[in-house]
Structure 1
Amino acid sequence: MKNTSLKIMVLILISCHMVSCEQETEFKTNRQDYDQFLDQGAMETTSKYFELWDNKIKPDSMQVLSLINVSGEYNRFFKGTGDIIYLKKAEQSLKKAVEIAAVGKAGYLRALARNYISQHRFREALDLAYKARKFGSGVNATQGLLFDVQMELGNYDVAKQYLDSIQNMSDFGYLIRVAKWNDHKGDLETAIRFMEKAKEKAESSKNRSLLLWSYSNLADFYGHAGRIEESYGLYLKTLELDPYSAHAKKGIAWIVYSYERNGKEALRILDSIINKNKSPEYYLLKAEVASFLGNDMLHVQALDDFYKLVRNKKYGDMYNAYNVDFYLNLDFNERALALAKREVKNRPTPESYGWLAYSLLKKGEKEKALEMVEGHIANETFEPAILYRAAEIYKANGKRQQVETLKKELMGSVYELGPLMEAQIAGL
């Protein structure tokens, strides 16, 4: 009897220990991991390197190397501060370099095209890529650029041809692009494998810019795949290399908000970004978290701050999609529809058509919205946010089978969509 009691007690102790271990191994973020990066001061928008090259540029300067180096610094300042003025200054330096360069013009055209991609001036970027190709130098770099632009324009079949033309499993540029292609096709597992290979290439090369690219993008992929702890670890690695990376800080804020449902801490992280970075998009996430916390005043203030920033004409078309969403949430449906049409003209992707279809739905034109979904979205994208809007349109048109199919898929994407969407998905 004593032996039996002893065995039971031992089993209970073992069970308790196992439960305790399981609880201990459940992943949680730790603010001590990232607080040092949140406390980082604002980026210095000058340097001895920048001043050295900037001082060589005169109004009639013929110093191409100075212009290129200065544009690179402006790009760095833009990434660190989110201030659009630096992206525009980089554009001016690159345009001058293209204008005066006697040799290496193809490379400068590609650099200017990438600047235009950042500004969402995709058709202008495409024209520059074609011009670069005519010079015949850096063929693979130009083909890779053409893949990037055609993907942004939604010309996926053409983009795949460019991707196939640069196939090289030992090339970092090819690996990140084939990862992007597989992510577009909905094969996240394969996309991750290629991005992991790219990370290995970056680590063997010890190239800082390649490391930053591979760590931050792979962190995003891991998040989409539900591999939260690995995602978190790579965002931290990104910050170790670049303490100013707002993208990595936002990634951690999203984990804290969407995975841990800790809105208060997510707001603290977002405020640390906003204090140093002028990109409008962070205010939209702040508004969402405020809504999650039930703080209506903060929600409205964050939206107002977003709107004040995006009114800056220097942004051009960079925030069209964000603005469509913004207008729809305020029931400014006519404005949203006009902007969605503009975005489709500039960038006819499933996302753009998704916003156009959703704007039509909000205006009461559900049949036209359904036409957009069936013609430009169905089987063209696997992005959860786009699919959710498509599901709403299917529901409005009485297409229950399509709604149920999408609903099952979307329930597996709650982390990616955020806590506020969970109830909306359940209500489809």
Structure 2
Amino acid sequence: MKYILLIFSALLIFSCKDSDTALKKITDKDDYNQFLVSEKPKTTSKYFELWNSKIKPDSIQLMSFGIVAGEYNTYFNETGNIDFLKKSEQALTKAVEKANIGRSGFRRALARNYISQHRFKEALELAENAREIGAGLTETQSLLFDVHMELGNYKLAKNYLDSITDLSKFGYLIRAAKWNDYKGDLASTINYMEQAEKIAENKKNKGLMLWSYTNLADYYGHAGRIKDSYSNFLKSLAIDSQNAYAKKGIAWIVFSHENNPKEALRILDSITKNYDAPDYYLLKSEIAEFMGDEENYAKNLDQYFLRVKNKKYGDMYNAYNIDLYLSDANEISNAFKLAEKEVANRPTPESYSFLAYSYLKLGEKQKALNIVLNHIEGKTFEPAILYNAAEIYKENGSLEKTAEIKEELLGAIYELGPNMKNKIEAL
């Protein structure tokens, strides 16, 4: 009888483990395999060639500049190749220089290009110029909200958000969602985004639908609604089968939620065949590290650094680089210098978090704590920033605050990734 009970207990344990795995399993290869056939993106078209041919050295064809810039921006989104974003910038710069009509519109377009390049102060200058010109006031106020959010000027951003309030407008709803995400009100964030999604679907605007689906997928993931997140990424791919961001989202679910790093790498490998953004290689290195695959970890990290050394990226990958430098004892001084630069460029809680953590690594734990108290505490709900703050509190003996953050972070392991689990538990 004793042995029967032991066998029954063993079967029960294995059954529970299988059940846990089944509960975690959300994705199905049959859902997304069709989208992993990588196609080389088209980086030209008859439409593009027609308008590009109208641009001459002394050209005043403003419409040509705008259309060509838009096409280059599309090529950047589809390839991850920084050259296209820079070419879009060049076309828009010429349009701004030559424009007498549509001056504010070209300035807004160039400002958005600068935002993509993390040139936020230059974007702000253009946005303020567009406001002075006066045309398209709502679009300019929306842009000013976006820029001030990036710069950490949250009171100003809220003022601009209030100035465009209109629950029937897609542009207002997505910004209201972003504001509430910053405030830590995830329920309201999702509610606003779902309203925006309905507007996009009613308009049958594929661009807005794609934007809604991918952003909602991210918010659902933050809320622990992994199945809904997966569903939205699939809806995104149904619109754009080569959408790298949606595939990356599915890879993250497979890796962080389902604990299947090998499959996650297979998905990411299909992306990087024809999509060249550096951060995809960084994610591949993170997954390889989790697998204990040192060769693949180093190879993908090398591919990341090979790309970001391209000066055209400017400050776009500063945050990623600081994070990497902070994990290398020989690079702490470089992390500190870059963190100081980021604080000067955009004094957000994230930038201050990097600076504080750099001080901690340099042995200046009191300076690190002062930054947390003055620039981070109560000003952000981002798990990665809170983790750095928790370490700083711990080193300064603030164990009660450390414990509070630890409890919160244990619920954010999906968002932070499996590599962070042991670090959080050790707080």
Q: For this structure pair, what is the TM-score category when the shorter chain's length is used for normalisation?
A: over 0.9
Distance 2:22 2:263 in 1: 21
Unaligned runs of 5+ in 2: 1-17
Distance 1:110 1:123 in 2: 13
For residues 36-84 of structure 1, give each alpha carbon's deviation from its aligned partner in whole angstroms, at most 9, with x where no partner exists. Answer: 2211312111112111111111121111111111111101100011000
* Partners of 2:289 and 2:297 within 8 A in 1: yes
Distance 1:151 1:210 in 2: 21
Distance 2:426 2:55 in 1: 60
How does the TM-score come out when normalised to structure 2? Answer: 0.94
* Partners of 1:27 and 1:229 within 8 A in 2: no
How does the TM-score come out when normalised to structure 1? Answer: 0.94
Partner of 2:186: 188
The farther-off stretch of 323-332 and 199-208 is 323-332
Distance 1:21 1:49 in 2: 54
* Partners of 2:35 and 2:241 within 8 A in 1: yes
Partner of 2:256: 258
Which residue of 53, 66, 70 maps to 2:64?
66
Partner of 1:11: none
Unaligned runs of 5+ in 1: 1-19
**Residue 209, structure 1, aligned to residue 204, structure 2:** no
Which residue of 26, 39, 42 maps to 2:40?
42
Partner of 2:10: none
Q: Secondary structure at the match of 1:74?
A: helix
**Residue 159, structure 1, aligned to residue 192, structure 2:** no
Shift of residue 371, structure 1, vs aligned partner: 0.7
Figure out how many residues of one structure are paired with residues of the other and give that number.
410
Which residue of 272, 275, 279 maps to 2:270?
272
Alignment of 1:166-177 (within 5 A): 166-177=164-175
Partner of 2:27: 29
Which residue of 108, 129, 137 maps to 1:139?
137
Partner of 1:232: 230
* Partners of 1:280 and 1:310 within 8 A in 2: yes
Shift of residue 23, structure 1, vs aligned partner: 8.5
Distance 2:307 2:20 in 1: 46
Distance 1:249 1:359 in 2: 33
**Residue 118, structure 1, aligned to residue 149, structure 2:** no
Partner of 1:312: 310
Shift of residue 24, structure 1, vs aligned partner: 7.0
Shift of residue 244, structure 1, vs aligned partner: 2.4
For residues 325-360 of structure 1, give each alpha carbon's deviation from its aligned partner in whole angstroms, at most 9, with x where no partner exists. Answer: 111222210000000000000010000000111111
For residues 340-392 of structure 1, give each alpha carbon's deviation from its aligned partner in whole angstroms, at most 9, with x where no partner exists. Answer: 00000001000000011111111111111111111100000000000001101
Distance 1:383 1:236 in 2: 26
Question: For residue 200 of structure 1, what is the amino acid of its counterpart?
Answer: K
Partner of 1:345: 344
Partner of 1:97: 95
Shift of residue 28, structure 1, vs aligned partner: 2.0
Distance 2:25 2:164 in 1: 40
**Residue 361, structure 1, aligned to residue 360, structure 2:** yes
Which residue of 260, 283, 286 maps to 1:285?
283
Distance 2:126 2:347 in 1: 19
Partner of 1:388: 387
